[in-house]
Structure 1
Amino acid sequence: MPSSITDRLAGTRIMDRIRSLTHVNPTGNMWKSSTLLATILGLILLRSWRTGRLPQLLQPTKKQREATEPSLFTKHSSFKTLTTASGHVYPKIRIFYHPHMQAAKLPKDLPLLVFIHGLGGNATQFAPLLTSLVNVGPCLAIDLPGCGLSDFKPDDPAAYTTAAFAELVCAAIEEYRDKENNQQVVLVGHSMGCSIAALLASSASSLRTKLKADYIIGLIALCPRSGPLNGGEARTVSNLKWLPVPIFDLIRMIDRRGGLQSGSITRMTGEGADDETRKLQSKFNDQSKSAVFLRFAMGMLPSAIDPHIALPGREIWSGIKVPLFLVAGESDGVTSPKEVEVIAEWLTKPAHAIDDTTESTVLDRESTQGDGDAATAKDATDSGSAERSTETVPTTAGDLQHVQYLLSSHPDQLPANDDTTVSNGSALSKNEQNHTKHAFALKTTIFPAPASHGLMYATSTLRILSGLIETFLAQHIDARLSLGWQLQHMTTSGKWDVKNLKKWDAISPCSEPIAGVFRAMKTMREVDYVHNPHEFVKRYGYRVLDDGVAIVVDISHESPVYDPRGLEEGGVGYCKFPTVSKLPPTPDEVDHFVELIDRLRREPRMQPSDDEEGGEGAGRRPTIGVHCHYGFNRTGFFIICYLVERLKYRLQDAVEEFAAKRSPGIKHDHFINELYVRYAVKMQRRGTIVG
């Protein structure tokens, strides 16, 4: 959504909007001249539009759009004609479908992840997220009609309502969902896409029944809106029917003054966004067509005939009975982060305990946020701080700890006689006392400023968001959506068969010193002529090298395939610290590892020597060798954690230090994402409600 409806769609206040953008005194002659100039320019644009000679000042050509497509979309996109349950025919819809890379080795009913973009957006806005998530599950995304590479057809306005889009998404799902194996679906929506998804996921929605969408088992809502347009917004949008598209183009063109620092970009990215994020937003703004934007906005208006045509509100959101993850940005001036709290309140408190003014208060406050200024949004968010705990949950605590934190902080939300079970990999909670079948998990996360409406592709939040989504999918929807589970499932042969032995042989035995404390290494093998304990001591021991290894920490889960006595005989210590492969270490494991390293560094053999006379051992700085099987993922994760927690490295610096000394560094993205989740920012996270 390229701007807040109230600000940028003020059809009755066009000149006021132009005045604010041009900073001209409305009482002076300059304002009169500016008004006249804008009117003349608008008439010229209108005439050019009608004669077909309007230069493409705002939207790139189709060829230009295709040239800037992410390679992931270029390779995995196709075009289809889709017909919905209501009979609307969309002749050319771009569909992105990426099956799991290891589909042949995984269960056929692995859930399908479906991505729905918002007003003014397109499917490629999910490309940065999809880079990681395509490794977790099969992924599907579409360009809504007129967006991205999809044709702006049909012409029927009824084909552009929220309900119509929900039917269109469902039609796309039916094209790709494995019905033979009853494949289930998880929806991921952004902005208006959340409203579309809610209509499909909610048990209170007639569309869910009409479309037989019982296969939807989860919803992730990024920057959701909690309700339909309020009175002022509805009047503003209604006036758009009298606004010629060229005039709206003119408003948008003026709004882009300032290039990457323009209000049109900052409104979506937040004040503190870097240039890379701003360039992405600029591209998305260019791709958004004014005529399509106006048609979509008109489709948001409520209807006396069918309320589902409008944006869904309290009834629909309250009826969601599947795991739900709500995400917002603190500086979002388009969709207030307060919306997340409203939805969460509807789902966690009895109806009689909810203040009826909550929804209208949020919407009224949104309508007065002016230009979407980040500071204004922050002030509005902070104004509600008295309603919630101001304590920040440590990012390093881990999601499971957040559950306990939330429930202990809000004991009124604890269900009586709670009996937590796991069914088909999904976390469910049943309240036996009330004898209800209502079961779902609710998680909320608000990213701190400068996180804004574009948080799903902003460089500062992308990795963290990706990690949080992967964690939510695995913990609360289906355990098989964990990359760790999948890697373990695909391990069908022993660690030391010919194939793995060849891989092991090709890897460097031991890295250079990392931060002066560690060396990352692959495991030794007793039967190997080069990399066995005796040879290791001769090549890398601290008695041979000034910065050689004095202690080896074996973090593999299995018994070592070498005899540790070979190390001890050469004066090198051995310590076993077993962890599970393919899975990022838990926060508790990291704590124990850090404490272990602290203790080992105090051992006599680890003490540095500063013998100024040049005697034996002068200048010695012993290191600790750490290995799993190959010395990249788990090894790198633990070492990086220690660098951040004890040596006070910035996370990115720690990641780069490890990669420089143990090239190419951590190989699995889900390990990197988890590091960013734990260390990159201090987020306002109230955890996961299971109930």
Structure 2
Amino acid sequence: MSQLNDEDFQELLAVKASAGSSTFANTAPASCEKLHQLALLQEQKTKTIWSKLVEFVKIGFLGYSNELEEYILENEANDCSLVAKYSSTTSIDLSNQPTLSIDEITLQTLKIPHPLTNFTKNDANQEMSFQDKEKISKELSESPILVFIHGMGGQMSQFEPLMGLLSQCSEVIALDLPGFGNSKIQFYNNRKFLSPITLQDQRKISASIEKMTWHDFETDNIVNIVYEFISQQVSENKKLVLIGHSMGTHISIKLAKKLARGKVEGMILLSPPEIEETQELVPAVHKTSSAFKLFTYAPFLFDYFRVWDRLSGLNSTSVTRQLSKTNNAFYNSLRQFRWNLDVNSSMLLKYAKGFRRATTSDLLVAVERFNDNPCDKHTYEKTLFIGGSNDQLTGVKAIYKGDKFLADTFGRKVSSSVEVKDVGHSLLLVKPEYISGIILNHIESKFPERLHLSPAWVLKVKALISGDKWGLKNELKWSDLQPISFNITRRNGSDIAPMLGMKTLREGDNNHSPANVELMFYNSDQVNSIKGVKGKLIAIIDISADIPPYSPKSFKIIQYYKCATVSKVVPDQSSIRRFIQLVNDILSNSDVEDALIGVHCHYGFNRTGFLICCYLVEVLGWTVQEAVEGFKQAKPPGIKHPHFIDALYVKYDK
């Protein structure tokens, strides 16, 4: 038996960890075909009011199972690979918070280190001068930590695309608030999750949340819990940028007000509820105080309401309320439905009853306490409001009111507001890359440069440390690999896949740079020299989690797309669906004959081969064996690690 090198060993450990502690963690991901069938059947069962009533009585009162819901809970994880890789179970000391009835709480939290943390520790990067080390250390200390705070019924996995992007230039921390996400009041064996939470930690989390009183769920007390989490996880001299969604925006505002002056650099507020001058209870689900009071006194009625509300499945009101009334993508509806199923009714009622809106005076104090460094060149727009034009829960007017209030109060522009068309309350689910790009662009252009919240700055520092801006890990190994695969085929070459596997490109490389790759496919003198490849490369999909060691802007013809996946982990169902949708979108919008899409992670074997095979099986109808063998012949030795191949057979070979 051959020995594993350190890199392979770490990959196996990561895969084992990401399998999760759920009893169903190793079951096959949800089959699209079966999901479509179950979703259609459930919609047909509830097509008329009478058929819906019959179904409601059967499920709500007679104990019949809802096959669609059970299948989704067992096969669709509520969290994601990014959270699974970086999450841990954390106990938070609350003894300094007298308004809370508990002295400690255990929650599921996340910490993604700054991308330069490990890079600077690498023995190969220790040739810096003392002055350079001091300079980098100082700049890193000034770079703030990004804190993600979800809303009512949410979880930190909802921030996955944004956390993945911003973790390329900053340290990230987050937590699942008590009762939500994987900070559950009760764990069920038939509900799939990916995070590696031991049974002991599951019991510890649930036991600590069960001790909480209704009073503990009031917004100010939730703020106190988050405050203690930050105080115990973040050093005193480290600054913060708070990023909240929905109720999390009001927690962020109150938190910025509570933290020490200068601790917070800025806030990103997504889908904020309206900020009021006076504190008010948030409206109930039916937006009538009488109904809300009835639910709080008789929670079982709220359970019945929720059964009715989601009875039509993926197109039910419970989903369209969060997304849009019409034209929701199947995957987005599925993901939202899964998150809805994850929410405990009693937890929702406790948060709703205890919700106290942030006031305009809270917002004013929070912004006044930002770390406005005297050395800053000018006034920055360090509060960003983002809302969806189709938001049915909080509306889009709140972002304009908040922005206008700050401008009127300060007498100058200190914030920005962005309305995103054709999206509802769940912004990052519907347009993840677009909205993440808006936020990164705002941080890079509207926040002080001294914060170094930019992937470009990270590349600059890496160049200073290693002497090469476009440095690669294991460069010798990378250099020896086949740059681009041959065509991936089956049936003796009669069927050709529209994709090529690649190793990552490198800026300025003599053989495999953006310029050279374009030259290979678009220079008439060299096209015939690409042996084993038929077609035109129209796009490259970068599935790595890192900043690429080349500039996408170097491409003049080929289009660059980022579809990040977590390194050392088999891509999860969310990643697979995003990848397939992206490939379909690229091909459907191209009129190039024999169009090809290049796909790369770092070396172009495991994650690259896995996702290409998923596309070949799901979209083109290849068998798993045909897909695996086709990729192996095109880019020897193919998928290298057996657990990636095993995952394909578990998923598709039934």
- Residue equivalent to 2:85: 75
Secondary structure of the residue aligned to 1:170 is: helix
Deviation string for 1:652-681 (max 9, x for gaps)? Answer: 4599989976833698xxxxxxxxxxxxxx
Instruction: Pick one of 283, 289, 293 that aligns with 1:239.
Output: 293
5+ long unaligned stretches in structure 1 = 1-20, 25-29, 49-53, 203-207, 301-309, 352-412, 416-439, 515-519, 550-582, 585-628, 642-648, 668-691
The alignment covers a number of residue pairs equal to 432
Instruction: Pick one of 256, 260, 263 that aligns with 1:215.
Output: 263
Instruction: Within 5 Å, give how 1:11-410 maps onto structure 2.
Output: 68-84=78-94, 85-87=96-98, 88=100, 89=102, 90-104=104-118, 105=120, 107=137, 108-109=140-141, 110-150=143-183, 151=206, 152-179=209-236, 182-202=237-257, 208=258, 211-212=259-260, 214-227=262-275, 228-229=279-280, 233=287, 235-236=289-290, 239-240=293-294, 242-270=296-324, 271-300=326-355, 310-319=356-365, 320-321=367-368, 322=370, 323-350=382-409
Deviation string for 1:466-507 (max 9, x for gaps)? Answer: 112222222333541111111111113444999897488458
Does residue 425 of structure 2 align to residue 453 of structure 1? yes
Change in Cα spacing, 1:59 to 1:154, as seen in structure 2 (3 Å) is farther
Instruction: Pick one of 434, 437, 460 that aligns with 1:488.
Output: 460
Deviation string for 1:54-98 (max 9, x for gaps)? Answer: 99999989x969964322222322223323442323432111122
Instruction: Pick one of 437, 441, 461 that aligns with 1:471.
Output: 441
- Provide the rounded CA distance (Å) in 2 between the counterparts of 1:631 and 1:654: 27
Q: CA RMSD of the aligned region, Å?
A: 5.1
Q: How far did residue 277 of structure 1 move?
A: 0.7
Check the 8 A contact 1:269/1:452 in 2, yes or no.
yes
- Provide the rounded CA distance (Å) in 1 between the counterparts of 2:474 and 2:594: 22
- Provide the rounded CA distance (Å) in 2 between the counterparts of 1:173 and 1:650: 42
Does residue 598 of structure 2 align to residue 663 of structure 1? yes
Which one-letter code corresponds to 1:142 in the other structure? L
Secondary structure of the residue aligned to 2:210 is: coil
Change in Cα spacing, 1:660 to 1:482, as seen in structure 2 (3 Å) is farther
- Provide the rounded CA distance (Å) in 1 between the counterparts of 2:598 and 2:393: 42
- Provide the rounded CA distance (Å) in 2 between the counterparts of 1:23 and 1:157: 39
- Residue equivalent to 1:3: none
Deviation string for 1:419-442 (max 9, x for gaps)? Answer: xxxxxxxxxxxxxxxxxxxxx741
Secondary structure of the residue aligned to 2:223 is: helix
Check the 8 A contact 1:542/1:548 in 2, yes or no.
no
Identity, in percent, stands at 22
Instruction: Tell me whether 658-667 or 161-170 shows the greater mean CA deviation.
Output: 658-667
Check the 8 A contact 1:91/1:154 in 2, yes or no.
no
- Provide the rounded CA distance (Å) in 1 between the counterparts of 2:524 and 2:76: 61
Which one-letter code corresponds to 2:90 in the other structure? K
- Provide the rounded CA distance (Å) in 1 between the counterparts of 2:235 and 2:508: 45
Secondary structure of the residue aligned to 1:81 is: strand
- Provide the rounded CA distance (Å) in 2 between the counterparts of 1:293 and 1:213: 32
Which one-letter code corresponds to 1:220 in the other structure? I
Change in Cα spacing, 1:163 to 1:336, as seen in structure 2 (3 Å) is same
Which one-letter code corresponds to 2:444 in the other structure? A
- Residue equivalent to 1:462: 432
Check the 8 A contact 1:237/1:297 in 2, yes or no.
no
- Provide the rounded CA distance (Å) in 1 between the counterparts of 2:110 and 2:512: 47
- Provide the rounded CA distance (Å) in 2 between the counterparts of 1:224 and 1:249: 26
Which one-letter code corresponds to 1:265 in the other structure? V
Which one-letter code corresponds to 1:482 in the other structure? S
- Residue equivalent to 1:590: none
- Provide the rounded CA distance (Å) in 2 between the counterparts of 1:542 and 1:77: 48
- Residue equivalent to 1:408: none
Check the 8 A contact 1:78/1:94 in 2, yes or no.
yes
Check the 8 A contact 2:146/2:170 in 1, yes or no.
yes
Q: How far did residue 273 of structure 1 move?
A: 1.9
- Provide the rounded CA distance (Å) in 2 between the counterparts of 1:286 and 1:275: 16
TM-score (norm 1): 0.53
Change in Cα spacing, 1:499 to 1:246, as seen in structure 2 (3 Å) is closer
Check the 8 A contact 2:282/2:352 in 1, yes or no.
no
- Provide the rounded CA distance (Å) in 2 between the counterparts of 1:347 and 1:316: 12
Check the 8 A contact 2:471/2:549 in 1, yes or no.
no
Check the 8 A contact 2:520/2:527 in 1, yes or no.
no
Check the 8 A contact 1:58/1:249 in 2, yes or no.
no
Check the 8 A contact 1:632/1:665 in 2, yes or no.
no
- Provide the rounded CA distance (Å) in 1 between the counterparts of 2:593 and 2:474: 24
Change in Cα spacing, 1:215 to 1:60, as seen in structure 2 (3 Å) is farther
Change in Cα spacing, 1:655 to 1:146, as seen in structure 2 (3 Å) is same
Q: How far did residue 234 of structure 1 move?
A: 7.2
Deviation string for 1:7-45 (max 9, x for gaps)? Answer: xxxxxxxxxxxxxx9976xxxxx89x979x989997x69
Change in Cα spacing, 1:506 to 1:494, as seen in structure 2 (3 Å) is farther
- Provide the rounded CA distance (Å) in 1 between the counterparts of 2:56 and 2:78: 32
Secondary structure of the residue aligned to 1:664 is: strand
- Provide the rounded CA distance (Å) in 1 between the counterparts of 2:553 and 2:419: 29
Secondary structure of the residue aligned to 1:481 is: coil
Check the 8 A contact 1:333/1:453 in 2, yes or no.
yes
Secondary structure of the residue aligned to 2:238 is: coil
Check the 8 A contact 2:146/2:243 in 1, yes or no.
yes
Check the 8 A contact 1:226/1:314 in 2, yes or no.
no
Check the 8 A contact 1:522/1:631 in 2, yes or no.
yes
Secondary structure of the residue aligned to 1:327 is: strand
Change in Cα spacing, 1:213 to 1:120, as seen in structure 2 (3 Å) is farther
Which one-letter code corresponds to 1:445 in the other structure? V
Q: How far did residue 130 of structure 1 move?
A: 2.0
Change in Cα spacing, 1:326 to 1:653, as seen in structure 2 (3 Å) is farther
- Provide the rounded CA distance (Å) in 2 between the counterparts of 1:476 and 1:196: 23
Deviation string for 1:486-533 (max 9, x for gaps)? Answer: 111111344499989748845878999x9xxxxx997778xx8x999x
Instruction: Pick one of 543, 549, 554 that aligns with 1:635.
Output: 554
5+ long unaligned stretches in structure 2 = 1-45, 121-135, 184-205, 371-381, 487-497, 499-503, 531-545, 561-582, 603-654
